Structure 1
Amino acid sequence: MNRIDRLYALAEELRAAGPRGRTARQLAARFEVSVRTIERDLSALGQAGVPLATKQGRTGGYSVDRSMSLPPLNFTAREAMAVAVALSGSEHVLFSRDSRTALQKIVAAMPKQALDEARTAAAKVRLLVRPTPDPDGEVAEQIWRAVRDNHVLRIFYTNGDGVESVREVEPQHVVVGPNGSYLTAWCQLRQEERVFRMDRITKAERTPTAPHRPAATGDVHVDGFETKLPAAALRPEELFPTPT
C-alpha cells in the first residue's frame, strides 16, 4: 500500500473506530508499518485538516470525527449482505486488504438496526472455499502496478515442467479464477499473447522499455473459462440505462 492510500485508509480506520480510537501501536500493526511511520502519517493528516483528537493515559490513542469523511449511506440490510458476501469471496492477495476496509466503511455507516439485520441474514449464507496457490505478495503488487500503469515487465517464470525463463512482457490483465490467478500479456520473446500463472512468477521488475503492442481486445479465456469484467459494476448507468 502506498502512502497516499495508507493515509486515506488510516483516516477511515480512525473514523470507524469511533470515540474508542486506536493507539499508534495498534495502527502500526494494522497497516504493517512502524509506530514512527504511523506518527508521521497522523501528523500529515492533522496538517491536511483532518480533525484528529488525542487521549492521554493507558487507554489513550487517536480518534477522528465519524462524520468527517464518509457521507451518509442508505444501504438496506439485503444490500449490505450482498456486498459482504461478494467481498468475502475476494481472498486474493491483491484485494483482501481493500475488501476488508471497504466492509469496514459500510459497517461504520449503517444504522444499528439495519446492521443487525444484515448480520443475521449473512449468517445464513456460506461460501465454498477452494484453496488456490497464492502468488508472492510483492510480485503480485509489481504485476498489478504494471497492468494498471501500462508498463513493460521483466518476469522470471517457471513453467509447469520446472523450466525457468526470463521474459519481457507487456501486461494486459490480471485474471482471478477458481484455479489461481494469472497474468495475460504480450510476450516479446514468443511474439504472441501468453497467459502466466502468477504463483510461478518468482520475480517481476519494471523495465524502461515502452510498450509497443496495442491494448488487448476481445474476450479473454483462461484455463477454458470465460472471463467477466468487474468494471461493469462501476458503470451502473450502462447496466441499467435510462429509458428514452
Structure 2
Amino acid sequence: MNRTHRLFQLMQTLRRLPAPVTAQALVDETGVSLRTIYRDIDALRGLGAVIDGETGFGYTLIEDATLPPLAFGDDELEALVLGLREVAVIGDPALAKAAQSALAKLKARLPARQTHRLQHAVLDARRFSRPPEPRIDVKALRAATWDEATVEFQYEDGKGDRSQRQVDPLSIVFMQNAHMLMAWCHLRQDFRAFRLDRMWDLRLTGANFRPRRVPLLREYMEILKADALARAKDRATEG
C-alpha cells in the first residue's frame, strides 16, 4: 500500500469510527504498525486536517480541510441520514459498509450545527431481524446489472427445487424481508424475481443485452403494477 492510499484510508477510518479513536483501533482497521499510525497522524495534521487527541487518549477528527462544507436544509439532512441508516441495516455487506462510510464523509463536510443534527437525528431505521445473507457476490451482480451483462447461477426455489438459470439482470430490490433480483429469465422466457439468498455459483456468460435493461425493467414494473391493482380490485370486490 503506497503512502497516499494509506493516508486516505486512515482519514476514512477517522471519519467512520466513533471518536475518540484509539491508535490500536486504527492499527486494527488499517493493518499498519503503531509507529506508522503516529507518523501518518502527524502527516495529516501537516496537510491541514485538525485532529484532536494524542497517544494514549485517542484521536478525534475535528475538521477535514480537504473537504468544503456542504449546505443542506434540515429536512434534506434528515432524509439523507434516514436513507443511509436504512441501507446500513438492510443492504448487502458491501453497501452497508458504503453507507457507513458515506455518513462519515457527510459528517466531515457539514457545518458544526448540522454535524450535531446528523449525530443526533430524530429519525432512525431499526430492524430486529436482518434480511437473509446473500449467497453470492452482490457487488459483482450489481456490476453485471449496470453493464447489462447476462449472468447464470444455481437457484433453489421456496419448495427446495433446484435449477440452473441464465438471466438478464434488471434491478436489485429489497422486497418484504429479502433482497430480490428482478430479471428476464431465459429458461422461462418471462420476467422472474429471484431471492439473492437462494442463488449461488454466480457467473458471467460473456453475453450482454445492451441497451435493453431500462425498457425491460419498465415493462416488468408495469406488469407488477397491473397485477397489484388487479389483486386490490379483487379484494375490494370480495369485501
Q: TM-score range by the shorter chain?
A: 0.5 to 0.7
User: Are positions 1:88 and 2:85 aligned together?
Assistant: yes
Stretches of structure 2 lacking an aligned partner (at least 5 in a row):
227-239
Deviation at 1:14, TM superposition (A): 5.4
Whole-Å separation in 2 of the counterparts to 1:170 and 1:82: 32
Q: 1:140 aligns with which of 133, 138, 141?
A: 138
SS at match of 2:213: coil
User: Are positions 1:13 and 2:30 aligned together?
Assistant: no
Letter paired with 2:142: W
Give the 4+ runs in structure 1 shifted more than 6 A: 6-9, 56-61
Q: What percentage of aligned pairs have identical amino acids?
A: 22
TM-score under structure 1 length normalisation = 0.63
SS at match of 1:95: helix
- The Cα RMSD (Å) is 4.4
Stretches of structure 1 lacking an aligned partner (at least 5 in a row):
1-5, 227-244
Q: 2:169 aligns with which of 157, 168, 171?
A: 171
Give a deviation string over 1:139-194, Cα, whole Å, max 9, x none.
32221121122222121110111011112222111112233111112222222222
| Contact 1:157–1:165 (Cα < 8 Å) also in 2 | yes
Cα 1:172–1:9 shift into 2, 3 Å: farther
Whole-Å separation in 2 of the counterparts to 1:225 and 1:131: 28
Deviation at 1:195, TM superposition (A): 1.2
Count matched residues: 206
Give a deviation string over 1:107-162, Cα, whole Å, max 9, x none.
11223333224444x23x35453635333365322211211222221211101110
| Contact 2:173–2:180 (Cα < 8 Å) also in 1 | yes
- Bigger-Rg structure (1/2): 2
Q: 2:150 aligns with which of 136, 152, 174?
A: 152
Deviation at 1:89, TM superposition (A): 1.3
| Contact 1:150–1:211 (Cα < 8 Å) also in 2 | yes
User: Are positions 1:72 and 2:46 aligned together?
Assistant: no
TM-score under structure 2 length normalisation = 0.64
Give a deviation string over 1:1-46, Cα, whole Å, max 9, x none.
xxxxx889726515738xx8875x6457447xx549xx9xxx9xx9
Letter paired with 1:112: A
Worse overlay, 7-16 or 173-182: 7-16
